[in-house]
Amino acid sequence: MSRDLNIKVHHLTRVEGHGNIVVNMKNGVLEKAHLSIVEPPRFFEAMLKGRSFHEAAIITSRICGICSLGHQMTSLVTTEDALGLEISEQTRLLRKLLVHGATFQSNVLHAYFLAAPDFLNVGSVFPLIATHKDVVLRALRMKRLANDIGDIVSGRAVHPITPVPGGFTSIPEKGELLEIKRRLLEEALPDGLETVETMKALAGAIPQFERETEYISLKHGDEYALYEGDIFSSDTGLVSVRNYLDVTNEFVVKHSTSKHTRYNRSSYFVGALARWNNNQAQLSEEAHAAAEAMGLKPDCHNPFMNTIAQVVEIVHCILDSVRIIDKLIANGLKNEKPNQTPTRYGRGVGSNEVPRGILFHDYTYDNKGNIVAANCIIPTGQNLANIDDDMMKLVPEIVDKSKAEITSNLEMLVRAYDPCISCSVHMLNVEFIE
């Protein structure tokens, strides 16, 4: 069909940050289909210069409110690598609990508040208060509990306070952890399973679209990797975190203030779907049952299913948090002081899986413990090239639909990645140019 199509969505809604979608088709030939990132650059790498190791995580958590815990964790791991600071088993467990809480919170926020309105054809979660009040209340309840994990363990869910290099400035009480455990089992687990039912009912609205790509995530020998592991590519296997630059290969494109990345192909996918594809064998039976109920199969190549993979992770995080709390309490909570005596100075590299995918920080410290060079490579930035490649395949497949439908499909596609544009620039408007 020799169609002319110009779409321009300016400041895409229900995503974190500012982006535009631009599509330009002339006589049936697709000339342009991309996500343009217009978020103002913030220059965190420049801000970090000269700052002390006590301040690095405070600054980098401000890259993004939604991902503040993730940035903080990666920053701490990076500083500890650079300064040779060992952490205790208790610190590792408390951090894993925080990562689960943040992943759970972020995935609930995305599935219910940002993505679900697409499936129900409304503009936001607010109209759903009248039509689906029980579902909205359930979402709020789950979010509250996930945020309470952050508030109790880290002092504050948005921009956590207590996690510092070498440990924690303050340790939660045993009673507080037991109360979280009770709520996880009595409230969150039933709510999580109800969420699976809700998503199963909505799954019919998920577009059928397939594009096989390279999936990159962390991988760990003993667990579904979130807090730690090595880099894993579905194309070529393991890479040490230390060599992350071999994987990311950042480059500047004119339509985005966030840099793009590529490894073995023109683009790669990071996030819940990549973790599912690479590590799903390490998930619990309950998480697998949830995936099966919602129609998520191993080696899924439909990017719209990322939201479903996030819901599977909600179930995983709830159950694994209970296991972590049991372990913390069995070990006996100790009022440890953080280990902040550097044993070396120099370069450190750290990586975690944050809700939107694999995150890298890389700092070099001078011998006074001040940063001389810093680099942060963010999940959404790594997904941008993949989103563009998806759009180039998707637009021709749906070109017979109305312009409104095409626009809405493209918005849904971008939202499925749960992009965090503040992070990536350190997004969304759809632009059809006619």
Which amino acid, 50? G
Cα separation, 188 vs 181, whole angstroms: 10
Sign of CA dihedral 301, 306, 307, 311: positive
Binding-residue pattern over the window 208 to 227 for another protein, x denoting contact by CB under 8 A: --------------------
Q: Return the number of the residue (58 or 239) whose C-beta is nearest another protein.
A: 58
Residue 113 in 3-state DSSP?
A: helix
User: Residue 424's closest CA among 379, 364, 366?
Assistant: 379
Rule CB under 8 A: say whether 13 interacts with another protein.
yes
Binding segment toward another protein, per CB under 8 A, in 87-95, 109-117, 298-306, 357-365? 109-117
Shortest Cβ 108–another protein spacing (Å)? 10
Phi/psi-derived region of residue 39, left when phi > 0, alpha when psi is between -120 and 50, beta in every other case: beta
Query: Quick check: 116 and 128 in contact, CB under 8 A?
Result: yes
Site for another protein in 396-425 (CB under 8 A): 422
- Give the single-character DSSP code of 418: -
The one among 84, 155, 207, 346 contacting another protein by CB under 8 A: 155
Residues 38-77 that bind another protein (CB under 8 A): 38, 40-43, 45-47, 49, 51-52, 54-55, 58-59, 62-66, 68
β-sheet bridge partners, residue 232: 217, 238
55 vs 230 by CB, closer to another protein: 55
Cα–Cα distance for residue pair 337/205, rounded to 1 Å? 51
* CA-wise closest residue to 414 among 17, 2, 5, 1: 17
Through-space distance between the first and last CA atoms of the chain, rounded to whole angstroms: 16
- Please give the structure tokens belonging to residue 395: 């637009």
Does 334 participate in binding another protein (rule CB under 8 A)?
no
Q: Which is nearer to another protein, 28 or 123 (CB)?
A: 123
Residue 205 in the binding site for another protein (CB under 8 A): no
Q: What is the sign, positive or negative, of the torsion defined by CA atoms of 12, 13, 14, 19?
A: positive
Positions 295 through 324 that interact with another protein (CB under 8 A): none
Least separation in angstroms between residue 15's CB and another protein is 8
Burial class (CB in 10 A: 0-12, 13-18, 19+), 364: middle
Q: Which is nearer to another protein, 28 or 40 (CB)?
A: 40
Q: Distance between CA 104 and CA 342 in Å, rounded?
A: 33
Taking CB under 8 A as the criterion, the residue among 76, 97, 98, 164 binding another protein is 164
Instruction: State how far the Cα of 330 lies from the Cα of 275, in Å rounded to an integer.
Output: 30
**CB count, 10 Å around CB of 357?**
29
Residue 211 C-beta: closest distance to another protein, Å: 26
We find the least distance from the C-beta atom of residue 49 to another protein, in angstroms, to be: 7
Q: Does 156 bind another protein (CB under 8 A)?
A: yes
Please pick, from the candidates 162, 195, 267, 278, the single residue that binds another protein as defined by CB under 8 A.
162
Under the binding rule (CB under 8 A), the answer on residue 158 touching another protein is yes
Query: Site map for another protein, 175-204, x if CB under 8 A?
Result: ------------------------------
Binding site for another protein (CB under 8 A): 11, 13-18, 38, 40-43, 45-47, 49, 51-52, 54-55, 58-59, 62-66, 68, 109, 113-114, 117, 123-126, 129, 140-141, 143-144, 147, 155-159, 161-162, 164, 169-170, 252, 254, 257, 422, 426
